[in-house]
Chains A and B, each alone.
Chain A
Amino acid sequence: MIIFVVLVFIFVFIYEAPELVEKEYWRELAVFTLLLLLGLVLSSLLVSGVKLPYIETVWIELGEGIHRVIQTSL
């Protein structure tokens, strides 16, 4: 599964990069590569079963934390 994910990302890179190189859009290439790597890492983690935190859970816990701090400080 990971191999498949990596393949897809490599494929996307090959699909997008040549045009950027051709036009000498180096900044674009850098940002693109960065985001792509981020996506690759995260999706590999996801596929390999690492338990990434849930976004909502983070917010809810954050909210509860703030609530608690306010309560204790009051």
Chain B
Amino acid sequence: MMFGFLRRKLRLAYLRKKPPTPSSRRNLSPDLEANLAAFRRKLGASPDLIIRRLRLGPETGIAGALLMIGGLTDQQVVNRDIIRPLMNEMKQAKGKGTEDLLDYLADKVVVIGEVRREPQFEQALDLLLQGDTILLLDGEEEALVFTTQGWKTRSIQEPESEQIIRGPHEGFTEDLRTNTALLRRKITNPGLQFEETKIGRRTQTTVALAYLRGVVNEKLVKEVRTRLKRVNIDQILDANYLVEFISDAPFSIFPTITYTERPDVAAAKLLEGRVAILVDGTPMVNTVPTLWVESFQSPDDYNFSFHYATLIRMLRYLSFFLAVFSPAIFVALASYHQELLPTPLLVTLSGATEGTPFPIVVEMIMMGAFFEILREAGIRIARPVGSTISIVGALVIGEAAVSAGLVGGPTIIVVALTAITSFVVPRQVTAGIVLRLTYTLLAGMLGAYGILIGMLFTLLHLASLRSFGVPYLSPLAPSTAADLKDVLVRVPIWAMGTRPRLIGWPRPQRQPVGFDQVVEEEREGANGADG
């Protein structure tokens, strides 16, 4: 038995260590037809591969071919800036001079922003697949690659998953370049660095690291880089493919890497010394290190007055507490600790649940599951039929179940409360569901003691989590007094003089702290009035 266990572990280790198959490196051949054949062989009979044959130079000239993928290249650019100059210029060209033909073409003929020479076949193929245009010439061992990417992208829209009232309304898009531009627009500082790599053996997805040099901790950047380098994955279709690879606690229900759809949020995190990971094709930007308390912050906190923001933030903590604990507490009180209920409430509860067929735990889990199903159906269903769901749900849950005596009215109230409150903190929704279910079960088995056990276990787990070296629960535990300014309360912006201690420690000072900046004028005015 033990050896089986050992063997299994070893086999897993073997799987982990298996090196990626090295891709064969092949150079382009000087023979145009051979090259074309190679491209055709690789890409098969794909109809979107466009091969435009042309002959350069006077008379017969040199045979050449332009390769591009339809839909990925900007057709207009190719026609106007590549094909036309090539044909026009070369007609008058006096033939090959002393200089290299490719250099000549690149330097003097083609009017494209970015041109480079590529000797390798595989590389050229990759570039082709990314929307570049490739010029192959007979007799040349290298290809010219023109950057002509141009495809339809979604325009910058309001982020749907992070709505705010005040503040900027633009959101990231699926296009990486647009996203980096959005970040540059926010932070006009030479320190803003992007590092791009391609991850995904088959998808070759561009992944960009962004950080603010001078603010960021270099060790953190190095750590992110190494983790990204370790990723050996076939495909990246969404940022989450990557996140599950590089997160600190892959089994944890708590997200140790957060996301945002908003450039202003991402910029704020960069300015705090965090590193952003942008994945091409994903309108979400991930930032690390992630703290638990970040989930409770919203961009609107900084767009409204701090009194209001503080109040709302406390409400958010309360909502999360209610979302996670209210079913469990209800179960514990109603089926274990009736002595703790105020007398009138007990009588009401007792009257309302009398005659219902199931124990309260079962009722609670049943209705909770029912609600989750409704929610899921509401998301997946085609929009036009969506309203049916809410009507059916409201009718069935709210009315029929209670009046048929299947479940007690209080259960419905608690489930409804949970449903509403759980959406107040969107980043902890997934964790919230797991916690809620576990606590409810534990409450059903051991009452308040069960909840306490679950709570302590969660606390230990949270305390043991780290996100890229930073304790997940900081600044609560380990507590950093200076960083509590943006946790339970949101202090005025002029008082947020320092960056988070554990993240932005190389240069903690953000701005001079103090009242002076804010009220100097007023004080002068007061003095003037006195004098």
Contacts and interface: CB of A to CB of B under 8 A. Distances in A.
Interface stretch (B1-9, B153-161, B197-205, B519-527): B1-9
Interface string A1-44: 00000000000011001100100000000000000000000000
Interface residues of B, number: 5
Contacts of A13: 2
Contacts of B9: 18
A21 B104 CA distance: 67
Given A18-B2, A18-B6, 8 more contacts: A13-B2, A14-B1, A14-B2, A14-B5, A17-B2, A18-B5, A18-B9, A21-B6
A74 B6 CA distance: 66
A13 B5 CA distance: 12
The 4 closest A-B pairs by CB, nearest first: A18-B6, A14-B2, A14-B5, A18-B5
Interface string B1-30: 110011001000000000000000000000
Nearest to B5: A14
Interface of A: 13-14, 17-18, 21
A18 B5 CA distance: 8
A22 to B, nearest CB: 8
Nearest to A15: B5
Contacts of A21: 6
B226 to A, nearest CB: 24
A13 B1 CA distance: 11
Interface in B423-450: none
Contacts of B5: 14, 18
Contacts of A18: 2, 5-6, 9
A41 B107 CA distance: 86
A16 to B, nearest CB: 11
Contacts of B6: 18, 21
A18 B132 CA distance: 53
A21 B5 CA distance: 13
A21 B2 CA distance: 11
Contacts of B2: 13-14, 17-18
A13 B9 CA distance: 16
A18 B6 CA distance: 7
A17 B6 CA distance: 10
Contacts of B1: 14
A10 B139 CA distance: 73
10 contacts: A13-B2, A14-B1, A14-B2, A14-B5, A17-B2, A18-B2, A18-B5, A18-B6, A18-B9, A21-B6
A13 B2 CA distance: 9
B3 to A, nearest CB: 9
A26 B500 CA distance: 45
A14 B6 CA distance: 9
Nearest to A21: B6
A57 to B, nearest CB: 28
Nearest to A17: B2
Interface in B6-56: 6, 9
Contacts of A14: 1-2, 5
A21 B7 CA distance: 13
B270 to A, nearest CB: 40
A24 B500 CA distance: 42
A68 to B, nearest CB: 43
A32 to B, nearest CB: 14
Contacts of A17: 2
A38 to B, nearest CB: 21
A21 B9 CA distance: 13
A27 to B, nearest CB: 20
Which of A13, A17, A18, A21 gathers the greatest number of chain B CB atoms within 10 Å? A18
A21 B1 CA distance: 15
A49 B209 CA distance: 64
Nearest to B9: A18
A65 B5 CA distance: 53
Nearest to B6: A18
Interface in B129-179: none
Nearest to B1: A14
